[in-house]
Amino acid sequence: MVWQNIIIQGDCLRAIENLTPEYHGKIKLIYIDPPFFSGTDYSLKKRYDESSSNDSPEIEDIKTYSDKWEGGLEEYLKFMRERLELMPELLTEDGSIWIHLDFHVAHYIKTILDEIMGYHNFVNQIIWKRTNSPKIQSKGFGSQHDIILLYAKDSSNFRTNLVYREHDERALKPYSYKDERGRFRLIEIEAQGIQRTEGRKRYEWRGRTAPYLYKREKLDAWWEQGLIYESRNNRYSKKQYLADVPGIPVSDLWLDIPPLQGSSKEYLGFITQKPEALLERIIHAATIKNDIVADFFAGSGTTAAVAEKTGRKWIACDWSEISIDLIQKRLEQIWKKWPKGKEPIKANLVKVDNS
């Protein structure tokens, strides 16, 4: 069957129920960025620049969704639990679910997910620095980060793909050597500190006797490849060229993905819109091409947009008509820039009955 991406308009509870028979065990990644229990109404800042004759384009505030809960925390957690409980069924055995939250409820949702997914399938709590200028608080500290909880369907089958972030100034500092092959740093090949005195055998190699960390054959091979650096006092180290290092392996602390600014090209005026770079990282860590990615609280469609650009199949659901309209327009913009000859996979719009 030829794959068609799916946009679903409606409550994700019904959407997931409807999807489950066909997509049971087929989705590799579920990323959701649901309401955070923030007590706020959110809007879309729509610009009408074409029609305005003056320099300042008109901006209209259109209400998109409410994150206010009459029944308080209890009502919110019930809402989340009902929907979270349905999601694991959809995941492949090596799949994962990433839930984007903040300080308001992340810890309550963690305990619910421990129950649903199993504590042993909890993989990471990722901290994303979402703003450079936290609001001053009357009590306590301003909040500067969001929390992304990562659970595997089955941790014994799960492993994130290696993702790297760019070298920063601090990481580049040791690469202070240079030769005709480029910048490099030195890596010890002799045991240091306690390792040195732990009974490691010393042997002679190219005129220097030392407790080498590697076998003679390995050192010979590196020598042949020009990867050994000899200092003036006849001490050897291994050269690590910057060009051979793809970047710094990403940890659970994400400080390098900047928040969306009002002036960012990708910003559509959707107040809780997340940066594409954030979704790129998640999608690259959790999937490969042609895997299915789903987002059941799609908002402005960041997940769908990145999945589309990176060759993943996708399902995006939101109950707001404004979001659905925004997602469709966002995709059309992507397709406009599609390389010649590359046919976009059309997305089917499905409406689910919320009753």
Ligand X SMILES: C[S@@+](CC[C@H](N)C(=O)[O-])C[C@H]1O[C@@H](n2cnc3c(N)ncnc32)[C@H](O)[C@@H]1O
Q: Which residues bind ligand X (CB under 6 A)?
A: 11-12, 33-35, 64-65, 270, 272-274, 296-297, 299-300, 302, 317-320, 323
The CB-of-116 to ligand X minimum distance in angstroms stands at 17
Of residues 19 and 228, the one with the C-beta less far from ligand X:
19
The CB-of-326 to ligand X minimum distance in angstroms stands at 8
Of residues 86 and 210, the one with the C-beta less far from ligand X:
86
Nearest residue to ligand X, scored by beta-carbon proximity = 299
Amino acid symbol at 110 = K
Q: Taking the mean position of all CA atoms in its chain, how far away is CA 16?
A: 22
The CB-of-276 to ligand X minimum distance in angstroms stands at 9
Of residues 99 and 189, the one with the C-beta less far from ligand X:
99
**Inter-axis angle of helices 72-84 and 12-23, nearest 10:** 20
Query: Using CA atoms, how far apart are residues 312 and 26, in angstroms rounded to an integer?
Result: 13
- Smallest CA-to-CA distance from 151 within 107, 109, 114 is with 114
Residue 82, helix vs strand vs coil: helix
Residue 62, helix vs strand vs coil: strand
Q: 203 has which bridge partners? A: 210
Of residues 13 and 228, the one with the C-beta less far from ligand X:
13
Of residues 11 and 190, the one with the C-beta less far from ligand X:
11
Q: Is 62 exposed, middle or buried (0-12, 13-18, 19+ CB in 10 A)?
A: exposed
The answer to whether the CB of 285 falls within 8 A of the CB of 312 is no
The CB-of-232 to ligand X minimum distance in angstroms stands at 56
Q: Is 157 left (phi over 0), alpha (psi -120 to 50) or beta?
A: alpha
The answer to whether the CB of 41 falls within 8 A of the CB of 67 is yes
Of residues 16 and 219, the one with the C-beta less far from ligand X:
16
The CB-of-279 to ligand X minimum distance in angstroms stands at 8
The CB-of-270 to ligand X minimum distance in angstroms stands at 5
